Amino acid sequence: MKPHFKALEAAYQLRYYLSLKTKYLKPTLATSETQGLVHQVLADVCHRKEYHLLETSINEDHLRLLISLKAQDAVSKTVQMLKGNLQHQFGKCTDPTVELAEGYFARSTGKVDLERVRKYVDQQVPHHGYSGEWTKSLKFRNDAFTSPAFTFAHHVSILNYHLVFATQDRIPLFDEVIAPNLFKYLLAVSKKHRFEIDRMGVLPDHLHLVIEGIPNVSVANYALAIMNASQQWMTDKYSGVLKETNSWDVWRPSYYAGTVGEFTTAQLASFLRNG
């Protein structure tokens, strides 16, 4: 399938809690000299890569960060960039025995927690004034979804996203007939592109998803995959609807993406400042 959308505009708020530890939990980050170097390296990398470092906490064997990333930034590459630069500077400027462990912990976080976002998506149909038995077809909860949805050999990552897509010119394309088939198709898309769907809600002119992703795929790539696949699917299955509404693009070339998690950004920031 030739991609229809190649670049998208995004409104996003993507924040992550990252935890790195020293090799064998040795207390090699204890000195003020080493901690000063860590702060300097983090500041330099974040400036170059346009990461926004919100909070930092360093103790003798752990480095914990709260960081805001761009939509095209993959968490795994961000961690690799931070760890690589830190390890390089440790070797140059301090005791070369200072080493970071191979793994890491990554958890998404947001302005509100995951449960509130789930309820928000569940309530979109009545919020927009739709009611009646037919509206049950506009919502989907994945009974097979469990979190963490993915396991990895050397790290733990739990990355939850709330995605919103609006139709071309906000044209009402979806109804109670199309919605269940769209949900079924997006479940297949999720398997191909390595994300798991928690729940979805569709209105005539926009779509909400709550998903869990993997750290080496950016949310921008997930958005492109979802929009391109569903645009082609609508063309194949519902060309009559698109012809009648003159909405062959299906989607606006833009989306919203927000991270969510068990704890809010404010809670994690407080933990890092006071922990």
d(CA 223, CA 219): 6
For 239, phi and psi rounded to 5 degrees? -65, -30
d(CA 108, CA 262): 8
Residue type, 98: V
For the chain, give the percent of residues with pLDDT over 70: 98
pLDDT in tens, 201-258: 999 999 999 999 999 999 999 999 999 999 999 999 999 999 999 999 999 999 999 9
Per DSSP, the three-state class of 263 is coil
What is the predicted pLDDT for the residue at 91? 82
Lowest mean pLDDT among 22-36, 44-58, 82-96, 97-111: 82-96
Domain limits of the chain?
13-106+265-274, 109-260
The correct CATH number of 109-260 out of 3.30.1330.40, 1.10.645.10, 3.30.70.1290, 3.20.20.70 is 3.30.70.1290
Mean per-residue pLDDT over the chain, rounded: 95
What is the predicted pLDDT for the residue at 214? 98
d(CA 193, CA 129): 34
pLDDT in tens, 28-81: 999 999 999 999 999 999 999 999 999 999 999 999 999 999 999 999 999 999
Provide the CA 67 distance to its chain's centre, in angstroms. Answer: 13
Contact between residue 110 and residue 15 where contact means Cβ atoms under 8 Å apart? yes
Is CATH 3.40.50.1820 correct for 13-106+265-274? no
For residue 1, pLDDT beyond 70: no
Whether 109-260 and 13-106+265-274 are alike in CATH topology: the answer is: yes
Q: Give the angle subtended at the CA of 23 by the CAs of 17 and 29, to the nearest 5°.
A: 70
Per DSSP, the three-state class of 31 is coil
Contact between residue 139 and residue 126 where contact means Cβ atoms under 8 Å apart? no
Q: Tell me the pTM.
A: 0.95
Question: What are the beta bridge partners of residue 206?
Answer: 166, 203
d(CA 36, CA 72): 30
Q: Give the angle subtended at the CA of 159 by the CAs of 257 and 220, to the nearest 5°.
A: 40
Tell me which residue of 15, 13, 11 sits closest to 166, measured CA to CA. 11
Query: Could you tell me the pLDDT band of residue 94, with boundaries at 50, 70 and 90?
Result: low
For the chain, helix (H) and strand (E) counts, in that order, are 8, 9
